[in-house]
Structure 1
Amino acid sequence: MNIDTSILTLIIAVPLAGAAVLALLPDRGNIQKFGALIVTLFTLLCTLHLPAHFNGAAPAGSFQFVIDHDWITAPSIRYHLGVDAMSMWLVVLTAFLAPLGVLASWKIPSINERAKTFYVLFLLQQVAMLGLFLALDLFLYYAFFELSLVPMTILIATFGRTKNRRPAAIKYFVYNFIPSAILLVGILWLYVKTGTFQFPALAGLAAAHNISPNGSALGLASLAFLIAFCVKVPVFPLHGWLKDAIVEAPTAAVMVLAGKTGLYSILRFSFGIFPEQSHHIAPLMLALGAIGIVYGALIATTRNDLKELAAYSTLSHLSFITLGIFGFTIAGLDGGIYQILNHGISGSALFLLLGFLYERYGTYDMRDLGGLAQKLPWMVTLYVITTLSVIGLPGLNSFVGEFLVLSGSMQAAFAHHVFWTVLATTGVILSAAYMLIMIQRVFYGHLGVTSSGQPSIDLNAREHTALWPLVAVMVLMGVSSPYWLHTIDTNGVAMSLQRTAAPAEAPATRIESESYPKPVFVDPALGAAALHQQPEPALKGARY
């Protein structure tokens, strides 16, 4: 049997079967822990088949490892899965973080008391995340989109660290459920107009302007999609659930809580099905992205609670990605997609370290800590490396994404883009300020009340095992970024060429040579800047 024809089903089925098996096993000893670890490692092994056999030369808009079978006849819903370069790396990232999340939960007392509940819910969350990235049928996608709400809500409500955990879970659920109901209306409207839920077909109809002649209805449908996705990111000012959810959620849940699903959904469905409407609203999204960067960074500088600082830092960095992708330049889109991966790696490492520190001292309050560098040399080393990654030190992963985002948004064709880019750049400075101040307050200076009264135990083997793979990927993605960007660039170029509307916008261009039948590849490390540095004769016209 050709594994390529079933690998996507296997990727979803393994954690689903694992959750079912763990639900039947007794909740005693380390059965649940080891069971969850084995399942997540096997899922990761399955996902590695995708980049190992991915055809990087495939044309933009095509999907690989496709599975397409009849499911429900009326309405016409199909079991349709597939990946391109963007969704492939998100699937691998999700599977990569899962075993690290299991290791992070190994010694948490509240989890060990109800290990079966936690690990079954955690695996169901993996099923939802993986299915969401793989689904090419809108109804199937929506099923996974909704499924992702349930395990996360229960995890926050059951395993939150304070008495505020249930209000936080309710807030998270309400914020995400109401927009998702509006999303369902938009999906059903599309089906009524087109007779299909299949994303490739809908994208083709959108490119030919054949979804509906009613521009107002199309605009409302695009808003239904965009609002649901912006809440999921979250985009400022729709971030009301983020701080409470991150503060309360256990570390393993926080690692998958924000960013990936909402941003992927915008790139895939909002840009793919509503390209014209996405360009119309892009100036507003650029403004919200820039404001969110500075707002999140400024609030983070005032926080004493490490989890709250990390929550507002998350808002700031996700807003950075929003700024990049809504510029609709090749560099901005490439950088935005790459930065989604970077945030998954660096943000997860930060939350792991915060969790390990909390296990030792029982507090996230920086005022109670301090002077830990001598006591915890390995921990401070990994904190510093992670901090440098988060703030975008050259040579580490986030620098590449941030550079592409800023260079791309500076060359966007929308009004006031220069102002918003300059404002966003101040967020980079603020990010360095609050992260480095955090390192100084927690690890240097005088010992705090809590840190002086507790025994200091440096990172153990389990914690090293969870952290060093993330550090290795930070370095690898910093020095070998073309490995990822050569495949991601296919998506970036395709999305930048979807400029179907605004006549005030400058047309997107691709470099073509008389000697080559195919477009000449522009190194993503240079991004859109390279397009404007080419001699005029090399440009053979513009395409929308």
Structure 2
Amino acid sequence: MNELPLLSALVAVPLIGAVIVASVRREQANVAKWTALGFSIAVAVIAALVALGFDYSDGAPWLQQTESYSWVEAWDLNLSWGVDGIALLLVALTAGLVPIAMLAAWRDLDSVKRSVPAFFALILALEAAMLATFLASNVLLFYFFFEAMLVPMYFLIGSYGTGPRRQYAAVKFFLYSLVGGLFMLVAVIGLWVHNGGVFDWQTLVAAEPMEAGSLQNWLFLGFFIAFAIKAPFFPFHTWLPDAGGAAPAAIAALLVGVMDKIGTFAILRYCLPLFPDATRTFAPWIIGMSVIGVVYAALVAIGQTDLKRLVAYTSIAHFGFIGLGIFAFTQTSATGAVLYMFNHGLATGLLFIVVGMLTLRRGSASITDYGGAAKTLPLLAGVFLFAGLASLSLPGTAPFISEFLVLLGAFASNEPVAIVATLGIILAAAYVLWMYQRTMQGTRNPALDDLSAMKRDLTIREKALVAPLVIAILGFGLYPQPLIDAVEPAVDNTLQFVVDEPADVPAAGETNE
């Protein structure tokens, strides 16, 4: 146990902040904003301390900086926290993206009669729940926060979203996730009964593997369906375009950039180690779903006329690559999948935020309402293009190394599947460049000349919030080795349950002699 309970602080600080911000009077909007931003920055500092104290050396414990506090002894329910290399990247992503999202939403409520303190309190509550799911080392504790995060996101979409279908989108998101959670609850209870009343993740992983058979298959499906809906994988994806299109752009950045990663993270943390035989049994089907999702979502994205829905569909395609990387069962592909979670969060978070800047100025997310906007918004257009190119994994940007490793590992495992998946790269170029050309280039829409907001390029606040994401995307694109060093040990520990030798292609960062 750590002398300093940093992991507990990562969960407690945003929760305390949410309560304090929620108690601020509605008229004191600026107080609520600055207080929330201060708490989110404090969380980022704590996350940095966790990263600095993490042991990246070979042979280090799988789960580090562990903490455990007894809660309900009769049910083996402890407040147990721990972090591995995979969780570390996602904790850093969450802690870094939340204050950026807050700054992006700074002016979003100026023209609407909704509670600013409640909005920022909900963001902090969401942050606490997301961090708790990455850090929980007790299965029931994970389930509790896995479901708890639905509440703040429901209100952020339904009460603060845009468009006439925001309530529909919020309810659809909530019901899809809730139904998936019910499948998981049944599986959690079944796992608890089978293992003699044990919820502790480390104890379950160290125990004798569950016998192959129908019980393991059903328990795997209970967990996997919940995680596939959360991710979302095809064909469980239909809630995301509605939710992403209706949510405020900054909230959509958190939804797609962080919250959806909990599904793929949980597959690695729970499905592979706890149900290895079932994982191998269903892997071909899941790979098929993933590849279909890559091609299908990319094709649908090309036909979208709403900017936020288009970005949401691109994310479904990206999650297909993540699924392929996980279930190809090579060290290279799985490392690429984890990097994809992190780098996709950076790129798509930036893309959603830039789309939010555009829609706030124009008052519309419809692509047909733009045209030639780069003539008066050159800086915003440049960041928009950069975010789009990063989303399609342009070499030199962080997502490139992720996609490259996934496809490299997948080729070693299943060449035909990998070849089909590469179609997603071609289609990504089509929908990203089409989106940029229709909004920023070409004949200027005369309606834009009547809007003074469309003549205001990036403000100082907007430059300050996009700069860290641009720097991170370029920095990790040119030098991804620190991320790989953090991830590879956890990937090896995870894959040992499903394959005898995970490093069946040259390990990431190595070459054949």
Please say whether Structure 1 and Structure 2 have the same fold, judged by a TM-score greater than 0.5: yes
Deviation at 1:509, TM superposition (A): 5.4
Find 1:446's aligned residue among 443, 446, 453: 443
Q: Distance in 1 between matches of 2:143 and 2:19?
A: 22
SS of equivalent to 1:27: coil
Q: Distance in 2 between matches of 1:509 and 1:353?
A: 39
Q: Distance in 2 between matches of 1:130 and 1:443?
A: 37
Q: 1:108 to 1:55 in 2, by over 3 A?
A: same
Identify the range of structure 1 (291-300 vs 488-497) with the bigger mean alpha-carbon deviation. 488-497
Q: Distance in 1 between matches of 2:300 and 2:3?
A: 47
Q: Could you say which residue in structure 2 is the equivalent of 1:421?
A: 418
Find 2:206's aligned residue among 200, 204, 207: 204
Q: Distance in 2 between matches of 1:101 and 1:499?
A: 38
Does residue 1:433 correspond to 2:435, yes or no?
no
8 Å Cα contact 1:100/1:466 also seen in 2? yes
Q: Distance in 1 between matches of 2:2 and 2:78?
A: 21
SS of equivalent to 1:163: coil
Q: Distance in 1 between matches of 2:181 and 2:297?
A: 25
Q: Could you say which residue in structure 1 is the equivalent of 2:480?
A: 481
Q: Could you say which residue in structure 2 is the equivalent of 1:7?
A: 6
Superposition TM-score, scaled by structure 2 size: 0.95
Q: Distance in 2 between matches of 1:48 and 1:38?
A: 15
Alignment of 1:319-398 (within 5 A): 319-398=320-399
CA-based RMSD: 1.7
Deviation at 1:451, TM superposition (A): 2.1
The amino acid that maps onto 1:13 is A
8 Å Cα contact 1:222/1:270 also seen in 2? yes
Does residue 1:67 correspond to 2:67, yes or no?
yes
Does residue 1:43 correspond to 2:43, yes or no?
yes
The amino acid that maps onto 2:105 is S
Q: Could you say which residue in structure 2 is the equivalent of 1:56?
A: 56
Q: Could you say which residue in structure 1 is the equivalent of 2:90?
A: 90
Q: 1:453 to 1:371 in 2, by over 3 A?
A: same
Q: Distance in 2 between matches of 1:4 and 1:342?
A: 32
Cα deviation, 1:416-451, whole Å, max 9, x if unaligned, reads x32221111010010011101111111111112432
Q: Distance in 2 between matches of 1:452 and 1:278?
A: 56
8 Å Cα contact 1:61/1:491 also seen in 2? no
Q: 1:465 to 1:3 in 2, by over 3 A?
A: farther
Give the number of the structure whose alpha-carbon radius of gyration is greater.
1
Identify the range of structure 1 (442-451 vs 13-22) with the bigger mean alpha-carbon deviation. 442-451
Deviation at 1:63, TM superposition (A): 1.2
Does residue 1:234 correspond to 2:194, yes or no?
no
Deviation at 1:57, TM superposition (A): 1.5
The amino acid that maps onto 1:190 is L
Find 1:524's aligned residue among 503, 508, 511: 508
The amino acid that maps onto 2:483 is W
Q: Distance in 1 between matches of 2:201 and 2:275?
A: 12
Q: Could you say which residue in structure 1 is the equivalent of 2:221?
A: 223
Q: 1:249 to 1:287 in 2, by over 3 A?
A: same
The amino acid that maps onto 2:215 is A
Q: Could you say which residue in structure 2 is the equivalent of 1:21?
A: 20
The amino acid that maps onto 2:201 is F
Cα deviation, 1:340-394, whole Å, max 9, x if unaligned, reads 0011100000000000001110111111211111211110111121111111111
Instruction: Report how many aligned residue pairs link the two structures.
Output: 505
Q: 1:424 to 1:499 in 2, by over 3 A?
A: same
Deviation at 1:307, TM superposition (A): 1.1
Deviation at 1:214, TM superposition (A): 6.5
Deviation at 1:296, TM superposition (A): 0.6
SS of equivalent to 2:396: coil
Q: Could you say which residue in structure 2 is the equivalent of 1:103?
A: 103
Q: Distance in 2 between matches of 1:419 and 1:382?
A: 36
Q: Distance in 2 between matches of 1:522 and 1:57?
A: 20
Q: Could you say which residue in structure 2 is the equivalent of 1:518?
A: none
Does residue 1:192 correspond to 2:220, yes or no?
no
Does residue 1:508 correspond to 2:507, yes or no?
no
The amino acid that maps onto 2:242 is D
Q: Distance in 2 between matches of 1:301 and 1:4?
A: 52
Identify the range of structure 1 (468-477 vs 252-261) with the bigger mean alpha-carbon deviation. 252-261
Q: Distance in 1 between matches of 2:506 and 2:53?
A: 24
8 Å Cα contact 2:332/2:503 also seen in 1? no
Q: Distance in 2 between matches of 1:25 and 1:153?
A: 21
The amino acid that maps onto 1:418 is E
Q: Distance in 1 between matches of 2:234 and 2:45?
A: 36
Q: Distance in 2 between matches of 1:332 and 1:72?
A: 40
Q: Could you say which residue in structure 2 is the equivalent of 1:171?
A: 172
SS of equivalent to 2:90: helix
Q: 1:477 to 1:112 in 2, by over 3 A?
A: farther
Q: 1:162 to 1:186 in 2, by over 3 A?
A: same
The amino acid that maps onto 1:74 is A
Q: 1:111 to 1:82 in 2, by over 3 A?
A: farther
The amino acid that maps onto 2:40 is T
Q: Distance in 1 between matches of 2:503 and 2:310?
A: 41
Structure 1 residues not aligned, in runs of 5+ = 501-506, 512-520, 535-544
Q: Percent identity?
A: 32
8 Å Cα contact 1:236/1:292 also seen in 2? yes
Q: 1:424 to 1:339 in 2, by over 3 A?
A: same
Alignment of 1:234-383 (within 5 A): 234-258=232-256, 259-383=260-384
SS of equivalent to 1:68: strand
Q: 1:347 to 1:461 in 2, by over 3 A?
A: same
SS of equivalent to 2:79: strand
Structure 2 residues not aligned, in runs of 5+ = none
Q: Distance in 2 between matches of 1:293 and 1:392?
A: 14
The amino acid that maps onto 1:446 is T
Deviation at 1:133, TM superposition (A): 0.4
Q: Distance in 2 between matches of 1:293 and 1:214?
A: 31
The amino acid that maps onto 2:501 is A
Q: Distance in 2 between matches of 1:227 and 1:145?
A: 13
Q: Distance in 2 between matches of 1:4 and 1:411?
A: 44
Deviation at 1:272, TM superposition (A): 1.8
Deviation at 1:111, TM superposition (A): 6.3
Q: Distance in 2 between matches of 1:5 and 1:111?
A: 42
The amino acid that maps onto 1:220 is W
Q: Distance in 2 between matches of 1:78 and 1:443?
A: 53
Q: Distance in 2 between matches of 1:323 and 1:111?
A: 43
Identify the range of structure 1 (227-236 vs 106-115) with the bigger mean alpha-carbon deviation. 106-115
8 Å Cα contact 1:5/1:67 also seen in 2? no
Does residue 1:80 correspond to 2:77, yes or no?
no
SS of equivalent to 2:375: coil
Identify the range of structure 1 (114-123 vs 345-354) with the bigger mean alpha-carbon deviation. 114-123
Deviation at 1:141, TM superposition (A): 0.6
Q: 1:244 to 1:509 in 2, by over 3 A?
A: closer
Deviation at 1:190, TM superposition (A): 1.0
Alignment of 1:486-505 (within 5 A): 486-499=485-498
SS of equivalent to 2:407: helix
Cα deviation, 1:146-165, whole Å, max 9, x if unaligned, reads 11111101111101111211
SS of equivalent to 1:373: helix
